[in-house]
Amino acid sequence: MSEDNKAPERAPESKLEISAESQRWLKAGIALGNDPKALVLCPACGKANLEVIDAHAGGRLDRYIHCPSCKKYNVLTNVVSQKPPTKEP
Ligand SMILES: [Zn+2]
């Protein structure tokens, strides 16, 4: 008698390792991508609200979000604003 005692193959757990801080940056990016005036606490230090600087270049928009307290920043590239550009009368 030959017993095939194979252990069932297990796929290695593939958890995406995203730090809690990175997740907060992502959320901040989404919130500020939708509304640059949203008040979002700095994901890194939590001491200040993130500030937003929009940089228009060509037909695209980069949105720099930075913390005035700890100076960390992230860039959202090619933000598509949901609001149409204001037209001058
Ligand atoms: Zn900060």
When divided into structural domains, the chain yields a total of 1
Q: Answer whether residue 27 is part of any domain.
A: yes
Return the pLDDT at 76: 87
Sign of CA dihedral 19, 26, 46, 62: positive
What is the model's pLDDT at position 1? 62
Residues lining ligand 1 (ion), CB within 5 A? 42, 44-45, 67, 69-70
Domain assignment present for 6: no
* Torsion sign across C-alpha atoms 85, 78, 56, 31: positive
Question: Could you tell me the distance, in angstroms and rounded to a whole number, from the CA of residue 8 to the centre of ligand 1?
Answer: 47
Query: Does any domain span residue 40?
Result: yes
Distance (Å) from CA 70 to ligand 1 centroid = 4
* Domain contains 9: no
- Residue 8 covered by a domain: no
Q: Is residue 45 part of a domain?
A: yes
**Claim: this prediction has a pTM higher than 0.75:** no
Q: Express each pLDDT in 26-69 by its tens digit.
A: 999 999 988 989 999 999 999 999 999 999 888 888 999 999 99
* pLDDT at res. 41: 96
pLDDT of residue 18 exceeding 80, the answer is yes
Q: Domain containing 59: what range? A: 20-76
